[in-house]
A and B are shown apart, each in its own frame.
Chain A
Amino acid sequence: MDLNDTPEQAAYRTEVRAWLEQNAPHAPATRGRGDEEQAVAAHRAWQRRLAEAGYVGVTWPAEHGGQGKGPLHQVVINQEIARAGVPGILDAIGVGMLGPTIIAHGSDEQKQRYLAPMLHGDEVWCQLFSEPAAGSDLAGIQTRARKDDDGSWRISGQKVWTTNAQFASYGLLLARTDADAHKHKGLTMFIVPMDAEGVTIRPLRQISGEPEFNEVFFDDVKLEPGSEVGAVNGGWGVALTTLMFERLTIGAGSEGMGYRADRFARAIASDPVAAKDPEVRARFGELATELLALRFTGYRLLTAISRGQIPGPEAGMGKITAVNGAIAAGDLIADVLGPEALDPESEWSYLISFLPGLKSAGGTEEILRNTVGERVLGLPPEPRLDKGIPFSELRAKERQEVAS
């Protein structure tokens, strides 16, 4: 059992650390309000600088501009970026999840056209999967893609929870191409230019007041022939690849979420009365137990990843531990600090407001527990209405159930 770097990782860490020390003056502020356009431009330039140094997409194959290295190299970069107190790349979603999906399923032309600008931050990407009526049950999406005679496509529908859509150049979009097939079988993945006619992007403000996400509307948006990624009606398999890389990205970055016991300890220890109060200590000790467990479960996950294993659904349990641990921490800190903790400028106010939504992000706690119960523990599945029927009949069946 050893948390130390191998000699090769240590050498890489030294190299990355030295580079970051030298280049940190060029990094934008980690979190700022104010002029978004300026902030995005600065963040974009930072990604380009990192990419030119070979620190973006290190796990991508060399032929697509990556370094062909293992996931632990990415972990080293994430850790060193966190240590240096500088932001990561602007397009973590593109480089971490969508690029690898295109590498796995895209055509040669798509790889040639899109990957290099993505890596350098010249073209940012967004993920267009979830919809107002399909989140946990992603295969229930309703956005339609209809093929015209000339091979082009027409997209109509709505997506939601879209991070970075407001400045993204492209989106990876899951749409329904065959409503008469079973819900998983009639889906296709597309590349959508976000400046196409008929695309409308609206910011979605969260509890904190910050627009963390967007809604994206598609009104008969035309896509060129060849915009599909992977086979027509093979979109579910492509989406699963993206979700697998999402787990990998979260696994490799779990330390970077900032929900660490030592961080919360500093806030509580700043009040010497609270630091000796038995009730505060009991609450803090309980949540610190959870967050320490999260950190060291993360190391087990990284060990598995470094051996080439893909994290299974059990990795989702870490999100449950993280969110609930952080909720308990925010609650305790507010109890200790009083109303001051809820000052809009306070980091705790932001944390407290951010977490209720995070409980549903990336799969609700309930759906994660269903998946783990069925896939990891082998418990029998819930009975479901949507087995073996075409998607087009599903809605009618659901309405019928509601009426009865």
Chain B
Amino acid sequence: MLEFDDIQHILVTRVPALTGRYEFLSFRQPAQGRAWLAGIIDKVASAKEAQASVQTENRWVSVAFTWSGLRALGLDEAPLATFPEEFRQGMVARAQMLGDTGANHPDHWIGGLASPDLHAIAILFARDPSERQRSTQEHQAFLAQIPGVQVLSTLDLDALPPFDYARDHFGYRDRLSQPEIEGTGIEPTRGSGAPIKAGEFILGYPDENGPPVGLPQPDILSRNGSYMAYRRLQEHVGAFRDFLRQQGGPSTEEQEWLAAKLMGRWRSGAPLVLAPDKDDRALGADPQRNNNFDYARMDPHGYAVPLGAHIRRMNPRDTAVNMQRRRMIRRGATYGPPLPEGAPDDGVDRGIAAFVLCASLVRQFEFAQNVWINDPNFHELGNERDPIIGNQDGTFDMTIPRRPIRRKITGLPAFTTVKGGAYFFLPGIKALRYLSTLG
């Protein structure tokens, strides 16, 4: 039985928010950090609370800490040492393995995210901009009373118009393939696989391998917690559209075809496996159909979805082993204004700022980054990386299987750049109280 009253809602609940704000915090004194935490706990909704009030509530708050943040709250060295090595090291130290090199290197990150002074994140999702403004002012007023807590940076999130469904700045429909946790009662959509044991995402429960082991201690600290990898990805919309025009050809149809091949889905969300030749918007919008496909049986050679396409890398379905141990829960939103169609790139920072939630960063998040996204030899491709979020420096290719002969695009440009990231621990509600009363 999952303890929904102790699990932070972000792990389980998808809230109807059109806006949001992330605030990145640094604690100068443990007591001040704990005072901040004590003051905000009551605003952090559990999964149970969020579920009950999802229709009437207007804002949802989550809080999480880096490893140095737990120390900055006054947690002793003994419990600190029980956290797994990759979390203790932090995302910056893992940069090379994650593919955060070149333009993606932490040296170029913004908002103080590469700094060891990054201790905590407060995540706000709000139903509309006015609620975000109200909540932000409330938080500012609260912080004004606690001078030892410094805001390193903030980021406002805004869904993209016309708000009929979630999309990114490139125009792709998002949130189509999401693992479901066993015990939440939520049935996975067709093709999304069996529900996954809670321990793959929430600490303290059996995972796909059996009973939980090696959890951070004491128990109250880790129970109902999760690890959360944050990624801020700038999307180069102008470069993306230029690429489609240059490589796709003059017609919109050809450009749409190329965009679909990079992703594995038409921008409407319709999967290429089920709609290989032309877009099918009704299919893209139908949750009972838009994820109902596999690769080994339906598209073994990649004639529909190229072997290196984004969705085939992020979820190889039946063409990879141990899939149930590699899944991740994604949360997040877009930031920055949309770039109007036909407009040249205005240089404004826009993109996706997202969280990957999992029980093991090294086995789930880092594996996906290291092997699925950035291994040039994924599926024997030889010299390719994820065309959307891989570390692209102009030296990698993209092969598009096609009869009679394949199409090969050489020197793929980077459509995204990592502008920040961090490893956070998302404690359960009781663990938040435990942390707030240390010392």
**Same assembly:** no
| Chain B residues near A (Cβ < 8 Å) | none
